[in-house]
Structure 1
Amino acid sequence: MNMSTKKTVVVLEDDVAIGELLEYLLTEENIEVKLFDRAVPFEREMEQLHADLYLLDIMLPDGDGYEICCKLRKREKTSHTPILLISAHFENIQNGCNAEGFIKKPFHIDELMNHVKRQLQ
Protein backbone atom coordinates (compact mmCIF):
# COMPACT_ATOMS: atom_id res chain seq x y z
CA MET A 1 0.00 0.00 0.00
CA ASN A 2 1.71 3.14 -1.17
CA MET A 3 0.23 6.09 0.68
CA SER A 4 1.56 9.61 0.38
CA THR A 5 1.08 10.40 4.05
CA LYS A 6 1.66 7.84 6.74
CA LYS A 7 -1.62 6.57 8.16
CA THR A 8 -2.24 5.74 11.82
CA VAL A 9 -4.29 2.80 13.05
CA VAL A 10 -5.26 2.55 16.72
CA VAL A 11 -5.61 -1.09 17.77
CA LEU A 12 -7.46 -2.16 20.92
CA GLU A 13 -6.86 -5.90 21.39
CA ASP A 14 -6.43 -7.71 24.71
CA ASP A 15 -4.85 -10.84 23.22
CA VAL A 16 -1.14 -9.94 23.22
CA ALA A 17 -0.25 -12.32 20.37
CA ILE A 18 -3.01 -10.95 18.12
CA GLY A 19 -2.08 -7.38 19.04
CA GLU A 20 1.56 -7.99 18.17
CA LEU A 21 0.59 -9.69 14.91
CA LEU A 22 -1.62 -6.74 13.92
CA GLU A 23 1.12 -4.30 14.85
CA TYR A 24 3.64 -6.24 12.74
CA LEU A 25 1.34 -6.54 9.70
CA LEU A 26 0.37 -2.88 9.74
CA THR A 27 3.93 -1.64 10.33
CA GLU A 28 5.04 -3.72 7.33
CA GLU A 29 2.56 -1.67 5.26
CA ASN A 30 4.15 1.57 6.51
CA ILE A 31 1.23 2.26 8.85
CA GLU A 32 1.86 3.75 12.26
CA VAL A 33 0.28 1.67 15.03
CA LYS A 34 -0.85 2.68 18.49
CA LEU A 35 -1.57 -0.53 20.39
CA PHE A 36 -3.70 -0.84 23.53
CA ASP A 37 -4.50 -4.08 25.34
CA ARG A 38 -7.09 -2.68 27.76
CA ALA A 39 -10.11 -0.37 27.49
CA VAL A 40 -9.22 1.86 30.47
CA PRO A 41 -5.86 3.17 29.16
CA PHE A 42 -7.40 3.53 25.70
CA GLU A 43 -10.26 5.65 27.05
CA ARG A 44 -7.83 7.68 29.16
CA GLU A 45 -5.90 8.65 26.01
CA MET A 46 -8.87 8.76 23.62
CA GLU A 47 -9.01 12.58 23.51
CA GLN A 48 -5.34 12.89 22.47
CA LEU A 49 -5.32 10.05 19.94
CA HIS A 50 -5.26 10.73 16.22
CA ALA A 51 -6.31 7.80 14.07
CA ASP A 52 -7.16 7.18 10.46
CA LEU A 53 -8.76 3.90 11.53
CA TYR A 54 -9.75 2.20 14.79
CA LEU A 55 -9.49 -1.58 15.06
CA LEU A 56 -11.45 -2.58 18.18
CA ASP A 57 -11.74 -5.97 19.83
CA ILE A 58 -15.21 -6.27 21.32
CA MET A 59 -14.67 -8.49 24.35
CA LEU A 60 -12.13 -6.90 26.68
CA PRO A 61 -11.33 -7.80 30.30
CA ASP A 62 -12.03 -4.24 31.49
CA GLY A 63 -14.53 -2.94 28.97
CA ASP A 64 -16.45 -3.37 25.77
CA GLY A 65 -15.15 -2.44 22.32
CA TYR A 66 -18.71 -2.01 21.12
CA GLU A 67 -19.37 0.67 23.78
CA ILE A 68 -16.06 2.34 22.88
CA CYS A 69 -17.18 2.36 19.24
CA CYS A 70 -20.36 4.18 20.30
CA LYS A 71 -18.32 6.71 22.32
CA LEU A 72 -16.04 7.37 19.34
CA ARG A 73 -19.10 7.92 17.12
CA LYS A 74 -20.52 10.49 19.56
CA ARG A 75 -17.33 12.61 19.59
CA GLU A 76 -17.15 15.21 16.83
CA LYS A 77 -13.42 14.57 16.26
CA THR A 78 -13.90 10.82 15.68
CA SER A 79 -17.50 10.62 14.45
CA HIS A 80 -16.40 9.97 10.85
CA THR A 81 -13.21 7.97 11.51
CA PRO A 82 -13.57 4.41 10.18
CA ILE A 83 -13.96 1.68 12.80
CA LEU A 84 -13.56 -2.06 12.32
CA LEU A 85 -14.78 -4.37 15.10
CA ILE A 86 -13.07 -7.71 15.75
CA SER A 87 -14.52 -10.60 17.75
CA ALA A 88 -14.89 -14.35 17.91
CA HIS A 89 -18.50 -13.89 19.02
CA PHE A 90 -20.25 -12.82 15.84
CA GLU A 91 -23.72 -13.74 17.08
CA ASN A 92 -23.51 -11.10 19.83
CA ILE A 93 -22.89 -8.22 17.45
CA GLN A 94 -25.40 -5.54 16.73
CA ASN A 95 -24.01 -2.68 14.72
CA GLY A 96 -25.73 0.25 16.42
CA CYS A 97 -22.36 2.03 16.61
CA ASN A 98 -22.22 2.16 12.79
CA ALA A 99 -18.81 0.52 12.45
CA GLU A 100 -17.59 0.22 8.86
CA GLY A 101 -17.02 -3.49 9.22
CA PHE A 102 -16.72 -6.59 11.36
CA ILE A 103 -13.91 -9.13 11.27
CA LYS A 104 -14.56 -12.53 12.82
CA LYS A 105 -11.80 -14.29 14.75
CA PRO A 106 -9.98 -16.33 13.76
CA PHE A 107 -9.42 -14.11 10.74
CA HIS A 108 -7.46 -14.63 7.55
CA ILE A 109 -4.59 -12.14 7.40
CA ASP A 110 -5.31 -11.23 3.75
CA GLU A 111 -8.98 -10.58 4.52
CA LEU A 112 -8.11 -8.39 7.50
CA MET A 113 -5.53 -6.39 5.55
CA ASN A 114 -7.98 -5.90 2.66
CA HIS A 115 -10.54 -4.47 5.13
CA VAL A 116 -7.90 -2.15 6.60
CA LYS A 117 -6.61 -0.96 3.22
CA ARG A 118 -10.15 -0.27 1.97
CA GLN A 119 -10.86 1.91 5.02
CA LEU A 120 -7.59 3.83 4.70
CA GLN A 121 -8.08 4.78 1.04
Structure 2
Amino acid sequence: MKILIVEDDSAIRHLIQQTLEEDNFECQAVDNGLVALDFVQKMQPDLIVLDRMLPGLDGLEICCRIRQNKSIKDPYIIMLTAKGEEMDRIIGLSTGVDDYMVKPFSPRELTARVRAVLRRSLRQLEPVQIYQTLHFAIDLDRRTATRLHGGNSELLDLTTIEFKLLSTFLSYPNRVWSRAQLIEKLWGDDFFGEDRVVDSHVARLRKKVEFDSSKPTFIKTVSGVGYKFEDSDG
Protein backbone atom coordinates (compact mmCIF):
# COMPACT_ATOMS: atom_id res chain seq x y z
CA MET A 1 0.00 0.00 0.00
CA LYS A 2 1.41 3.41 -1.03
CA ILE A 3 0.99 6.36 1.33
CA LEU A 4 1.70 10.03 0.65
CA ILE A 5 2.41 12.21 3.72
CA VAL A 6 1.80 15.94 3.27
CA GLU A 7 3.00 17.87 6.33
CA ASP A 8 5.06 21.07 6.52
CA ASP A 9 6.40 20.47 10.05
CA SER A 10 9.59 18.48 9.46
CA ALA A 11 9.59 16.79 12.89
CA ILE A 12 5.98 15.61 12.54
CA ARG A 13 6.52 14.60 8.92
CA HIS A 14 9.57 12.50 9.82
CA LEU A 15 7.79 10.89 12.78
CA ILE A 16 4.77 9.88 10.67
CA GLN A 17 6.95 8.49 7.89
CA GLN A 18 9.17 6.55 10.28
CA THR A 19 6.18 5.08 12.13
CA LEU A 20 4.37 3.99 8.96
CA GLU A 21 7.51 2.57 7.33
CA GLU A 22 8.13 0.51 10.46
CA ASP A 23 4.75 -1.07 9.73
CA ASN A 24 5.91 -1.87 6.17
CA PHE A 25 4.00 0.83 4.30
CA GLU A 26 5.62 2.42 1.26
CA CYS A 27 5.76 6.15 2.01
CA GLN A 28 6.64 9.41 0.29
CA ALA A 29 6.64 12.68 2.23
CA VAL A 30 6.36 16.29 1.01
CA ASP A 31 5.99 19.65 2.77
CA ASN A 32 4.11 21.75 0.22
CA GLY A 33 0.59 21.65 -1.21
CA LEU A 34 1.51 22.28 -4.84
CA VAL A 35 4.28 19.68 -4.71
CA ALA A 36 1.80 17.26 -3.14
CA LEU A 37 -0.53 17.45 -6.17
CA ASP A 38 2.34 16.54 -8.49
CA PHE A 39 3.19 13.55 -6.29
CA VAL A 40 -0.44 12.42 -6.20
CA GLN A 41 -0.54 12.42 -10.02
CA LYS A 42 2.70 10.46 -10.36
CA MET A 43 2.47 8.18 -7.32
CA GLN A 44 -1.28 7.38 -7.36
CA PRO A 45 -1.25 6.64 -3.60
CA ASP A 46 -3.74 4.39 -1.85
CA LEU A 47 -3.95 6.81 1.09
CA ILE A 48 -2.89 10.37 1.88
CA VAL A 49 -2.09 11.72 5.34
CA LEU A 50 -2.85 15.39 4.72
CA ASP A 51 -2.16 18.39 6.96
CA ARG A 52 -4.89 21.03 7.06
CA MET A 53 -2.58 24.09 6.98
CA LEU A 54 0.09 24.01 4.28
CA PRO A 55 2.13 26.44 2.16
CA GLY A 56 1.19 26.58 -1.52
CA LEU A 57 -2.29 25.07 -1.17
CA ASP A 58 -4.08 24.17 2.04
CA GLY A 59 -5.31 20.67 2.76
CA LEU A 60 -8.95 21.35 1.94
CA GLU A 61 -8.12 22.71 -1.52
CA ILE A 62 -5.85 19.72 -2.19
CA CYS A 63 -8.63 17.36 -1.19
CA CYS A 64 -11.14 19.13 -3.46
CA ARG A 65 -8.81 18.97 -6.45
CA ILE A 66 -8.06 15.29 -5.91
CA ARG A 67 -11.75 14.37 -5.72
CA GLN A 68 -12.52 16.37 -8.87
CA ASN A 69 -9.66 14.95 -10.95
CA LYS A 70 -10.80 11.81 -12.80
CA SER A 71 -7.23 10.96 -13.84
CA ILE A 72 -6.21 10.44 -10.21
CA LYS A 73 -6.84 7.16 -8.42
CA ASP A 74 -9.41 7.91 -5.69
CA PRO A 75 -7.31 7.64 -2.50
CA TYR A 76 -8.45 7.53 1.09
CA ILE A 77 -7.59 10.77 2.91
CA ILE A 78 -6.86 11.26 6.61
CA MET A 79 -6.63 14.94 7.49
CA LEU A 80 -4.46 16.28 10.31
CA THR A 81 -5.20 19.64 11.88
CA ALA A 82 -4.43 21.71 14.93
CA LYS A 83 -8.00 22.98 14.86
CA GLY A 84 -10.54 20.98 16.79
CA GLU A 85 -13.70 22.98 16.22
CA GLU A 86 -16.71 21.10 14.89
CA MET A 87 -17.10 23.39 11.86
CA ASP A 88 -13.58 22.61 10.65
CA ARG A 89 -14.34 18.91 10.86
CA ILE A 90 -17.59 19.36 8.95
CA ILE A 91 -15.84 21.34 6.20
CA GLY A 92 -13.15 18.69 5.94
CA LEU A 93 -15.66 15.86 5.64
CA SER A 94 -17.71 17.78 3.06
CA THR A 95 -14.68 18.04 0.75
CA GLY A 96 -14.20 14.27 0.74
CA VAL A 97 -11.99 13.58 3.77
CA ASP A 98 -12.43 9.99 5.02
CA ASP A 99 -11.08 10.45 8.54
CA TYR A 100 -9.93 13.28 10.76
CA MET A 101 -7.30 13.58 13.51
CA VAL A 102 -6.60 16.59 15.69
CA LYS A 103 -3.04 17.45 16.72
CA PRO A 104 -1.39 16.45 18.96
CA PHE A 105 -2.00 12.78 18.17
CA SER A 106 -0.40 9.43 18.91
CA PRO A 107 1.62 8.06 15.96
CA ARG A 108 0.40 4.57 16.86
CA GLU A 109 -3.21 5.73 16.78
CA LEU A 110 -2.56 7.21 13.34
CA THR A 111 -1.12 3.88 12.19
CA ALA A 112 -4.19 2.07 13.53
CA ARG A 113 -6.47 4.43 11.62
CA VAL A 114 -4.43 4.04 8.45
CA ARG A 115 -4.75 0.26 8.68
CA ALA A 116 -8.47 0.49 9.41
CA VAL A 117 -9.14 2.84 6.49
CA LEU A 118 -7.18 0.64 4.07
CA ARG A 119 -9.01 -2.47 5.26
CA ARG A 120 -12.27 -0.85 4.17
CA SER A 121 -11.21 -1.25 0.54
CA LEU A 122 -10.64 -4.98 1.09
CA ARG A 123 -14.10 -5.71 2.50
CA GLN A 124 -16.33 -7.67 0.17
CA LEU A 125 -19.94 -6.89 -0.57
CA GLU A 126 -22.61 -9.49 0.20
CA PRO A 127 -22.61 -12.50 -2.18
CA VAL A 128 -25.48 -11.30 -4.37
CA GLN A 129 -24.62 -10.70 -8.01
CA ILE A 130 -27.15 -8.14 -9.22
CA TYR A 131 -29.49 -5.54 -7.72
CA GLN A 132 -31.92 -3.77 -10.02
CA THR A 133 -34.63 -1.15 -9.61
CA LEU A 134 -36.58 0.90 -12.12
CA HIS A 135 -33.74 3.30 -12.94
CA PHE A 136 -30.61 1.52 -11.64
CA ALA A 137 -28.73 -1.76 -11.96
CA ILE A 138 -25.73 -2.93 -9.91
CA ASP A 139 -23.58 -5.89 -10.96
CA LEU A 140 -21.35 -6.87 -8.04
CA ASP A 141 -19.29 -9.42 -9.97
CA ARG A 142 -18.34 -6.93 -12.66
CA ARG A 143 -18.45 -3.97 -10.26
CA THR A 144 -20.60 -1.89 -12.58
CA ALA A 145 -23.38 0.57 -11.75
CA THR A 146 -25.79 1.69 -14.47
CA ARG A 147 -28.50 4.34 -14.56
CA LEU A 148 -31.43 3.57 -16.86
CA HIS A 149 -33.52 6.35 -18.38
CA GLY A 150 -35.86 6.51 -21.37
CA GLY A 151 -34.54 3.28 -22.87
CA ASN A 152 -30.92 4.45 -22.54
CA SER A 153 -28.27 3.30 -20.07
CA GLU A 154 -25.44 5.28 -18.53
CA LEU A 155 -22.48 3.66 -16.80
CA LEU A 156 -21.77 5.49 -13.54
CA ASP A 157 -18.22 6.35 -12.49
CA LEU A 158 -18.26 5.61 -8.75
CA THR A 159 -15.58 5.37 -6.11
CA THR A 160 -15.36 2.21 -3.99
CA ILE A 161 -17.35 3.75 -1.13
CA GLU A 162 -19.95 5.27 -3.50
CA PHE A 163 -20.42 1.89 -5.20
CA LYS A 164 -20.89 0.14 -1.85
CA LEU A 165 -23.27 2.85 -0.67
CA LEU A 166 -25.42 2.63 -3.80
CA SER A 167 -25.37 -1.17 -3.58
CA THR A 168 -26.59 -0.95 0.00
CA PHE A 169 -29.43 1.38 -0.99
CA LEU A 170 -30.47 -0.78 -3.95
CA SER A 171 -30.40 -3.96 -1.86
CA TYR A 172 -33.20 -2.58 0.35
CA PRO A 173 -35.29 0.02 -1.54
CA ASN A 174 -37.49 2.19 0.71
CA ARG A 175 -35.65 1.07 3.84
CA VAL A 176 -34.67 3.90 6.18
CA TRP A 177 -30.98 3.75 7.12
CA SER A 178 -29.52 5.60 10.08
CA ARG A 179 -25.99 6.93 9.73
CA ALA A 180 -24.81 4.36 12.28
CA GLN A 181 -26.33 1.53 10.23
CA LEU A 182 -24.68 2.76 7.04
CA ILE A 183 -21.33 3.03 8.81
CA GLU A 184 -21.69 -0.54 10.05
CA LYS A 185 -22.71 -1.74 6.59
CA LEU A 186 -19.86 0.02 4.78
CA TRP A 187 -16.99 -0.10 7.26
CA GLY A 188 -17.95 -2.30 10.20
CA ASP A 189 -15.61 -2.25 13.18
CA ASP A 190 -12.88 -0.58 11.12
CA PHE A 191 -14.54 2.83 11.31
CA PHE A 192 -12.91 5.70 13.18
CA GLY A 193 -14.40 9.18 13.09
CA GLU A 194 -17.76 10.88 13.10
CA ASP A 195 -21.04 9.81 11.54
CA ARG A 196 -21.10 13.01 9.44
CA VAL A 197 -18.71 11.28 7.05
CA VAL A 198 -21.83 9.50 5.75
CA ASP A 199 -23.34 12.86 4.74
CA SER A 200 -20.23 13.63 2.72
CA HIS A 201 -20.36 10.38 0.76
CA VAL A 202 -24.13 10.64 0.22
CA ALA A 203 -23.70 14.17 -1.16
CA ARG A 204 -21.04 13.00 -3.59
CA LEU A 205 -23.13 10.01 -4.66
CA ARG A 206 -26.16 12.22 -5.26
CA LYS A 207 -24.16 14.33 -7.70
CA LYS A 208 -23.58 11.21 -9.79
CA VAL A 209 -26.97 9.48 -9.63
CA GLU A 210 -29.54 12.26 -9.32
CA PHE A 211 -30.80 14.28 -12.26
CA ASP A 212 -30.76 17.31 -9.92
CA SER A 213 -28.74 16.74 -6.74
CA SER A 214 -30.30 19.81 -5.09
CA LYS A 215 -33.71 18.12 -5.42
CA PRO A 216 -32.97 14.42 -4.94
CA THR A 217 -35.43 12.00 -6.49
CA PHE A 218 -33.82 8.75 -5.38
CA ILE A 219 -31.72 9.24 -2.23
CA LYS A 220 -34.02 10.93 0.25
CA THR A 221 -33.07 12.48 3.59
CA VAL A 222 -35.19 11.25 6.48
CA SER A 223 -35.11 14.08 9.00
CA GLY A 224 -33.65 13.12 12.34
CA VAL A 225 -32.85 9.58 11.19
CA GLY A 226 -30.74 9.23 8.05
CA TYR A 227 -31.47 8.25 4.45
CA LYS A 228 -33.57 5.99 2.26
CA PHE A 229 -33.58 5.06 -1.42
CA GLU A 230 -36.76 5.35 -3.49
CA ASP A 231 -37.17 4.44 -7.15
CA SER A 232 -40.66 4.54 -8.66
CA ASP A 233 -42.50 5.86 -11.70
CA GLY A 234 -43.43 8.94 -9.72
TM-score class, shorter-chain normalisation, is 0.7 to 0.9
Q: Which residue of 1 aligns with 2:74?
A: 80
Residue pair 1:73, 1:79 contacting (<8 A) in 2 also: no
Aligned to 2:12: 18
Q: Deviations over 1:6-54 (max 9, x none)?
A: x110010000000000110011011010100111211233321221101
Report the counterpart of residue 64 of structure 2 in structure 1.
70
What is the identity, as a one-letter code, of the residue corresponding to 2:103? Answer: K
Question: Number of residues paired by the alignment?
Answer: 115
The answer (yes or no) to whether the contact 1:11–1:33 under 8 Å persists in 2 is: yes
Of 74-83 and 111-120, the range deviating more from structure 2:
74-83
**Secondary structure of the corresponding residue to residue 41 of structure 2:** coil
Cα distance, 1:80 vs structure 2? 3.2
Are the aligned partners of 1:36 and 1:42 in contact in 2 as well (CA < 8 Å)? Answer: yes
Deviation at 1:62, TM superposition (A): 2.3
- Rg (Cα) greater in structure: 2
Q: Deviations over 1:35-78 (max 9, x none)?
A: 00111211233321221101100101222011101111112244
Distance 1:86 1:67 in 2: 14
Matched-pair contact (CA < 8 Å) for 2:4–2:40: no
CA RMSD of aligned residues (A): 1.5
Higher RCO, 1 or 2 (CA under 8 Å, sep at least 6)? 1
Residue pair 2:2, 2:46 contacting (<8 A) in 1 also: yes
1:110: Cα distance to partner? 2.5
> Any gaps of 5 or more consecutive residues in structure 1?
1-6
- Percent sequence identity is 30
What runs of 5+ residues in structure 2 fail to find an aligned partner?
120-234
- The residue matched to 1:117 in structure 2 has which SS? helix
4+ runs deviating over 6 angstroms: none
Which whole-Å CA distance do the structure 1 matches of 2:78 and 2:28 have between them? 15
Q: Could you state the TM-score of these two structures normalised by the residue count of structure 1?
A: 0.86
Residue 9 of structure 1 corresponds to 3
- Pairwise CA distance, 1:98: 1.9
TM-score normalised according to structure 2 size:
0.46
Matched, 1:106 2:100: no
Over 3 Å counting, the alpha-carbon distance change for 1:116 and 1:77 in structure 2 is farther
Matched, 1:30 2:28: no
